[in-house]
């Protein structure tokens, strides 16, 4: 990958940045890393996400080919969500972002506090 190219609207790198820009996308992908999970269990794993936002996020991830939705018949019907191979391929970059945040989070928060205090 060359680094001297602009990040145009149709740039593939920009596509990846857009996928990870949504607050919940990476969180949901990470929560699915161990295998298929039902909606309620996924919501419990994540915490702090509404049912509506989780459903919207899962639909968006499915639309982008990162998550599969599997419905099972029976009473009551059951639905599970699972990462696709494409979704699994994002786990390493997500982990790298998490490691960066762990290492530099205090610096970012301090900068935010300085900005807030100075304005």
Tens of pLDDT, residues 47-103: 999 999 999 999 999 999 999 999 998 888 899 999 999 999 999 999 999 999 999
Closest CA to 26 of 113, 103, 108, 97: 97
pLDDT at 69: 97
Which CATH number do you get for residue 27? 1.10.10.10
**Phi-psi category of 13—alpha, beta or left, where left has phi over 0 and alpha has psi -120 to 50?**
alpha
Specify if 102 maps to a domain: yes
3-state secondary structure 72-118: ECCCCCEEEEEECHHHHCCHHHHHHHHHHHHHHHHHHHHHHHHHHHH
Specify if 7 maps to a domain: no
Using CA atoms, how far apart are residues 33 and 37, in angstroms rounded to an integer? 10
State the residue for tokens 């949504």: 22
Specify if 4 maps to a domain: no
Give the least confident one: 4-18, 20-34, 64-78, 97-111.
4-18
Counted domains in the chain: 1
pLDDT at 63: 96
How many Cα neighbours within 13 Å face the side chain of 108?
Answer: 6
Closest CA to 68 of 77, 80, 56: 80
Residue 8 binned pLDDT confidence (cut-offs 50, 70, 90): low
Specify if 56 maps to a domain: yes
Mean per-residue pLDDT over the chain, rounded? 90
Specify if 32 maps to a domain: yes
Sign of CA dihedral 63, 20, 50, 70: positive
- Say if residue 1's pLDDT is above 60: no
Range of the domain at 91: 12-118
- Say if residue 24's pLDDT is above 70: yes
Specify if 5 maps to a domain: no
pLDDT at 10: 66
pLDDT at 11: 75
């Amino acid at each position: 990958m060359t680094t001297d190219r602009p990040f145009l609207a149709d740039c593939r790198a920009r596509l990846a940045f857009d996928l990870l820009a949504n607050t919940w996308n990476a969180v949901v992908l990470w929560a699915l890393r161990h295998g298929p999970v039902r909606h309620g269990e996924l919501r419990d794993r994540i915490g702090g996400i509404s049912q509506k936002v989780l459903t919207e996020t899962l639909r968006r991830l499915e639309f982008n080919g990162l998550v599969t939705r599997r419905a099972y018949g029976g009473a009551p019907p059951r639905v599970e969500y699972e990462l696709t191979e494409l979704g699994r391929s994002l786990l390493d970059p997500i982990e790298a972002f998490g490691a960066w945040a762990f290492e530099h989070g205090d610096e970012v928060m301090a900068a935010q506090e300085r900005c807030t205090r100075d304005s």
